[in-house]
Structure 1
Amino acid sequence: MGDENSAADYLSKCIYSIGVGSNDYLNNYFMPLYYTTSRQYNTEQYADILIQQYTEQLKTLYDYGARKFVLNGVGQIGCSPNALAQNSPDGRTCVERINVANRIFNDKLRALVDDLNTNTPDARFTFINAYAIFQDIVNNPSAFGFRVTNAGCCGVGRNNGQITCLPLQNPCPNRDEYLFWDAYHPGEAANTIVARRSYSAESSSDAYPYDISRLAQL
């Protein structure tokens, strides 16, 4: 960039999109056979620990010159094919105890955005409510072009969610009609919806306090 000041100016204009937290629940808190965190902490305490560590990571990015932050909330992990395969009696009803934990984390993340915007005046933070956007899709999938919301396009076992997509396995031919690509991850069609509503929010519940298009102008 020529010199340190030019680099700092450039970095301050970039938008940093960050998604942290999903694996802390998927691959830790809700795996009690392998990790003790769910026995050590209730959902409120665990979310506080994650937010504390998240804050430190954001401060590190800030110290390196980042000034525009997009913080993506955790989606509905309790509605993923893996959660449905393991914990849903009918394979369709979302696992509420998991979703409750996700909502607690998201509420604290949104509050963190308020705190950082207040106390870091030369930086801007916004919260993307992926949970609410997915709720819209799950409640009315046909309106978004989805036919299957409870199974992966590629996977093994119940809901295609007990084992994720394996090498040489053929995925479904109509992947745009599936909300999930595999046991855990939304497919491209779903991610496109989240991206569009994050950039140009349909309501304040999608992005807070402003969408990404507005953040880019600040």
Structure 2
Amino acid sequence: MMMMMKVCCCSSLFSHIVRVLLFSIILLGVLINPSWGLIKLPANETVPAVIVFGDSIMDTGNNNGLKTLVKCDFAPYGQNFKGRIPTGRFGDGKVPSDLIAEELGIKEYVPAYLDPNLSPNDLPTGVCFASGGSGYDPMTPKIVSVISFEEQLRMFKEYIGKLKAKVGAKRTKFILDNAIFLVVAGSDDIANTYFTIRIRKLQYDVPAYTDLMIQGASDFIKDIYGLGARRIGVFSAPPIGCVPSQRTLGGGILRQCAEEYNEAALMFNSKLASTIDSLMPKLSNSRLVYVDIYNPLLDLIVNPQNYGFEEVDKGCCGTGALEVAVLCNPLTPPCEDPSKHIFWDSYHPSEAAYKALVPNLLKKYVSSFFF
């Protein structure tokens, strides 16, 4: 009897130890990779890769080797990135492409396709083709000498060839069928090409110009679909009139939100949502998702206290009114705490703002990528 009690006690103690160890392992995993368990995919669904096109919101370093003023591979950019490295991301830390891949449990960072240190092992889980300063209007990237959507498409074709060489044709098809493709553009078209430089404003009114942008977006969606993309998320334009630089340039002496810019963004967004709805039935086996970033970011700006932010209309870098890209440099030191600022520089949100936005966006839209 005594022997049986000892066995039972040992068994109970062993079970308890096992439970504690399992809990510790799970807890350690959450601490190491906070994305574990945050985004639940539908049963029997997988996302092997995140593949990104667009502009500076998503760019993870493709502009570094370009002869352009639209670059940021220098301090103080990257001051909150791992190792405090200015990687070419337009912010103080991670950008949405990184956070989305992390939230989905794919990897911590999405490398730039043009990164000289890009490894073949990076290809199966996705890369970034986005280029800061690019847009749907072909003139937008030309003005600032960055990578156009046409060139991003060419790089994507090249990527597919490299991927096939790495994992074979069958696995490549699986990756393209199941990856989430993200397309983010429009703000540079509206803010820079139309309202600031004003070249297009001499040729088009806002309805006509947004039609031109929509044609570029529609053609690009069809192009990447033709190359194998099936799950495609297309982001709306943001409330571009409320970013610090546009307040300075178009918001008057009080630096209010430039409503004319926001109205153009809203018109474009309405047309983009309709275009995506009309395209999906024509592109068989596709899941096209319109991702509204306008309203979530505007809510951050209008109700900063709800998210722990204190500074709304100025970036953290320098004065915060105009500094961006080469104007945000070691001679324009940043604020003490970027996490209190919605914007890192005069154009791009801070990592803290992205972290406030991305998880909620994924929770809202991720199920839309699956049948």
**Same-fold status (TM-score > 0.5):** yes
Q: For 1:139-218, what aligned pairs fall within 5 Å after superposition?
A: 139-156=302-319, 160-164=320-324, 165-168=327-330, 169-201=332-364, 211-212=365-366, 214-218=367-371
Letter in 1 for 2:187: S
Aligned to 1:12: 177
1:68–1:215 contact (8 Å) kept in structure 2: no
> For 1:149, what is the secondary structure of its paired residue?
coil
Matched, 1:83 2:246: yes
Letter in 1 for 2:248: A
Q: CA RMSD in A?
A: 1.6
1:68–1:124 contact (8 Å) kept in structure 2: yes
Structure showing the higher strand proportion among its residues? 1
2:237–2:293 contact (8 Å) kept in structure 1: yes
Q: Give the number of the structure whose alpha-carbon radius of gyration is greater.
A: 2
Aligned to 2:291: 128
Q: CA deviation at 1:73?
A: 0.7
Q: CA deviation at 1:21?
A: 0.9
Letter in 2 for 1:161: A
Q: CA deviation at 1:5?
A: 3.7
> Which of 80, 96, 102 matches 2:259?
96
Separation in 2 of the partners of 1:187 and 1:67?
31
Separation in 2 of the partners of 1:10 and 1:122?
15
> For 2:313, what is the secondary structure of its paired residue?
strand
Aligned to 1:206: none
Please identify, of 65-74 and 116-125, the stretch whose mean Cα deviation from structure 2 is larger. Answer: 116-125
Aligned to 1:72: 235
> For 1:30, what is the secondary structure of its paired residue?
helix
User: Are the structure 2 counterparts of residues 151 and 121 from structure 1 closer, same or farther at C-alpha, using a change threshold of 3 Å?
Assistant: same
Q: Which runs of 5+ in 1 are unaligned?
A: 202-210
The two structures have a TM-score, normalised by structure 1, of: 0.87
> For 2:334, what is the secondary structure of its paired residue?
coil
Letter in 2 for 1:116: L
Please identify, of 69-78 and 167-176, the stretch whose mean Cα deviation from structure 2 is larger. Answer: 167-176
Q: How many residues align?
A: 203
- What is the identity percentage for the equivalent residue pairs of Structure 1 and Structure 2? 28
Q: CA deviation at 1:35?
A: 4.1
Deviations 1:159-185 (A, max 9, x none): x22232532132111111111111111
Q: Identify the structure with bigger relative contact order (alpha carbons < 8 Å, sequence gap 6+).
A: 1
Aligned to 2:217: 54
Deviations 1:65-120 (A, max 9, x none): 10001111111110011111122235452110010000001111111121122222
